[in-house]
A and B are shown apart, each in its own frame.
Chain A
Amino acid sequence: MNKNRKSRNFMQLSPGWNAFSNATAALFSLLCVFPFLFVVLISFTDEKTLATNGYRLIPEKWSVGAYSYVFETGDMLLKSYGVTILITVVGTLLSLFMISLYSYAISRKSFKYRRFFSLFAVFTMLFNGGMIPTYIIVTQVLGLKDSLWALIWPLAMNAFYIMILRTFYMTSVPDAIVESGKIDGAGEFKIFYRLVLPLSLPGLATIGLFSTLGYWNDWFNALLYIDDPNKVPLQSMLMRIENSMSFIQQNSANSSISLEVMQSLPQDTARMAMVVLATLPIIFAYPFFQRYFVSGLTIGSVKE
């Protein structure tokens, strides 16, 4: 296969076709990025011009007022950043821990109950109790209302990832390695983290990144479970300021802001500035992780 790819003769592609392909792909790619750029432009618009002109591609008057306002009342943004980072890190580690152990065990042929536990996981993909019973269990039985754990636990496991990782173990961790570990007298756990884990890092990286993205972008769980303004993650905060900036003002520790400053606050542009600030980490990080998502997608859909 590789040999064939190398022998591909590029000269046989007509220049017109190539140009057309380039143009189409470039256009679509631009369309994908454009809304973000547009929001960046809006956030640098002067609030007064915005009120008269609406959102424009080229603002009549530029301003960084929105950003200086956001930084002045910035502790709310920081707090939300903190919450999001915390749940993302803890959640990803936790889910990697649970998923990798679970899928390793059910990938081992020596495990007598592997079929049972595979089914136990797969069944959850097929049939679920739905939003409301889950809500009641999480708040009433587990008592996680208004707790950061309510943002972490519900996303910690996923039967689909388990199946992906199980396939990964079965195909890329040879039995011989495990057997050799046994001969050396190592216990199952030792074999797992000394021999198996290093081999399965690419698979874990993929799952870990999907999980990270899931936590970072989650707002639904916060919508359901979080009332305390100090525990609101980034995405959920953006949702709360959609209607009114009072959420920010109310929860800002900076009490030196005078009524006057608050009254002149750049509401529309500040909102967009928040969106930009909340998106930046993703914008910077995703190109580097892109290939892991690609590999995850290919493992997930075309299991070999």
Chain B
Amino acid sequence: MNKGKGRLALIAAMLAIVLVVGACGNNGGNESADGAEETAELIWYTIGTPQKDVTAVMDQVSAYTKEKINATVTMKMIDWGDYQQKMQVNVASGEPMDIIFTSAGGFDYVQNVRKGAFLQIDELLTEYGQGIVDTIDPGFLEGSKVDGHNYGIPANKELPQQEVWRFNQNLLDKYDLDIGKVRSLESLEPLMATIKANEPNVTVFGMDKNHVPYVPYDYLITNLPMAVKLDTDDYKIVNILETDEMKQALATMRKYYQAGYISPEAATVGSTSDLTLSGNWFVDRAQTQPLADNQWSATYGYPVVSTPASDAIITNTSVQGSIMAITANSEYPEKAMEFLNLLNTDPVLRNMVDSGIEGTHYEKIDDNRMRNLPEAKNYDMPSYSLGNNMLLNLNENDPDNKWDVFKEFNAEGVASPILGFNFDSANVSTQMAAIQNVKEQYWSALMTGTVDPDEYLPTALEAFKQAGMDEVITEAQAQLDEWVAEAK
């Protein structure tokens, strides 16, 4: 008996030691000794290939923001292909963060709002974010509300979403090809055939594993198969894989794959940057914005032209295409909001974040026009994810009215029938997880034409069904019907 007691006491003693050690480690002081307001150290996660000069630029940014709002900023970049997964894990495990990039496609905004990842910012917005409310297109703030509340600041940029075919112009010119008649997936065929016949080493149709053929539907959740037709009048939710449009698109993709237009590795490759870098591609699909061709050509170093593949539609995905949210576990929510307010209203800060250090990464040509310096490739940031685009300096070859063109584009966009409807999957969360798993298994291979849809589509549909697709659709349909009734 005595022995047992001794062992217990030993365990207790060890626990005590470890806890003391642990506690010491955790007390990394945020407390500042003098009574002055401590400087907030904001941690900002954003999407994009990590850039070499991020730390240097953020030092400059911090110096500026420290003076303006007494806050410093650390930016952590996570590569395109990894963002969703890494952030999923970071949020779920409670990694310290203040501001994170979220979007309908990247790290799903609505779903993560439901999971409680972001802070509800209605009050913060009124108190510290008045500049934002005044500046950005009200369509954005309205469209990013979930259950009537705001959880993030959308970037002020193009509002509708339009898909385009991008072409490597060098190859177009070489074979004197005309893209005037290109629009549908099928219409690409003659051009691709020419390139395939003459340029055996060129990847004709570039894509990575996230590619999904365009069909005129709006998805309830990006990258999951529940969707509503754009010209719907009965608001019926369908499994996109069961629609005629998608079936035809998949058959075409399969045909292209077998013709050798698509890389055999497309379904496992996470990025096409090797292709765009080497220029060894002919066509791919991308989302556009006004004057995008200039932007692409400038980045890649060779001419790129594009032609529409779809109408410009304002969807939940496009409205929620780039949002900066304050995390639920942020230590400095007020400071984070002050920072976001500054970022969306102050051209100095916004351009510093976007283009880096003047004189190192870029130089000013005149008041609001800049030119990249060679060092710019060490700080090449995606503009769309970093706040109000309309504060940005113009590039050398941009027209003066660039942002007016944007505003026009935004005004012309057509709203999707389910714009503003946000599915709440709480009641079917088990099914959603299962569907997510099924999607991981079949999606990429089907969408890239890597496997034969005649054989795999029925299997995939059966797997989705087994995972509980019908229950999810029923639940979503009920919510959507209610939403439609309320809206009318």
Contact = CB atoms under 8 A, between A and B. Distances in A.
Interface string B20-50: 0010011000000000000000000000011
A246 B25 contact: no
A52 B273 contact: no
B279 A246 contact: no
A135 B25 CA distance: 18
A246 B271 contact: yes
Given A135-B93, A136-B93, A250-B51, A259 B301 contact: yes
Nearest to A266: B278
B76 interface: yes
Interface string B262-286: 0000000111011001110000000
Given A136-B93, A143-B25, A255-B375, A250 B274 contact: no
A119 to B, nearest CB: 10
Interface in A223-243: 227-229, 243
Nearest to B302: A263
Interface string B431-472: 000000000000000000000000000000000000000000
Most buried by B among A116, A136, A243, A267: A243
A207 B141 CA distance: 60
B93 A249 contact: no
A71 interface: no
B377 A135 contact: no
A48 B377 CA distance: 27
Which of under 10, 10 to 19, 20 to 34, or 35 or more describes the interface residues of A?
20 to 34
A250 B49 contact: yes
Given A52-B200, A145-B95, A135 B89 contact: yes
A243 B94 CA distance: 29
**Size class of the B contact interface (CB-based, 8 Å):** 20 to 34
A255 B271 contact: no
A266 B26 CA distance: 48
A135 B85 CA distance: 14
B52 interface: yes
A298 interface: no
Contacts of B274: 244-246, 267
A37 interface: no
A262 B270 contact: no
B86 interface: yes
B278 A265 contact: yes
A217 interface: no
Output the residue of B7, B25, B49, B76 with the most chain A CB within 10 A. B49
A59 to B, nearest CB: 16
Contacts of A136: 93-94
Contacts of A143: 25-26
B374 interface: yes
Given A143-B25, A145-B95, A244-B270, A52 B201 contact: yes
A263 B271 contact: no
Interface in B351-388: 374-375, 377-378
Contacts of A267: 274, 278
Nearest to B200: A52
Contacts of B93: 135-136, 139-140
Nearest to B49: A250
The A interface is mostly helix, strand or loop, or mixed, namely: helix
A19 interface: no
B10 interface: yes
Nearest to A135: B93
Contacts of B260: none
B230 interface: no
A113 interface: yes
B78 interface: yes
A143 B95 CA distance: 9
Interface string B58-80: 00000000000000000010110
A4 B93 CA distance: 63
B347 interface: no
Nearest to A119: B7
B10 A250 contact: no
A159 B396 CA distance: 64
B413 interface: no
A116 B86 CA distance: 40
A255 B374 contact: yes
Nearest to A252: B52
B375 A263 contact: no
A85 to B, nearest CB: 22
A63 interface: no
Nearest to A267: B274
Contacts of A135: 89, 93
A243 B81 contact: yes
Nearest to A264: B278
Most buried by A among B7, B10, B278: B278
A51 interface: yes
Contacts of A253: 52
Given A140-B94, A244-B273, A246-B277, A251 B201 contact: no
B111 to A, nearest CB: 20
B52 A251 contact: yes
B273 A116 contact: no
A255 B379 CA distance: 12
A146 to B, nearest CB: 8
Nearest to A229: B50
Contacts of A263: 277-279, 301
A267 B277 CA distance: 11
Interface string A144-186: 0100000000000000000000000000000000000000000
Nearest to A271: B274
A73 to B, nearest CB: 12
17 contacts: A136-B93, A136-B94, A139-B93, A140-B94, A140-B95, A143-B26, A145-B95, A227-B78, A243-B81, A243-B269, A245-B277, A246-B49, A246-B273, A246-B274, A251-B52, A263-B279, A267-B274
Interface of A: 48, 51-52, 113, 116, 135-136, 139-143, 145, 227-229, 243-247, 249-251, 253, 255, 259, 262-265, 267
Given A51-B201, A142-B25, A143-B26, 16 more contacts: A113-B10, A140-B93, A143-B25, A227-B76, A227-B78, A229-B50, A244-B269, A246-B273, A246-B277, A247-B49, A247-B79, A251-B50, A251-B52, A255-B377, A259-B301, A265-B277
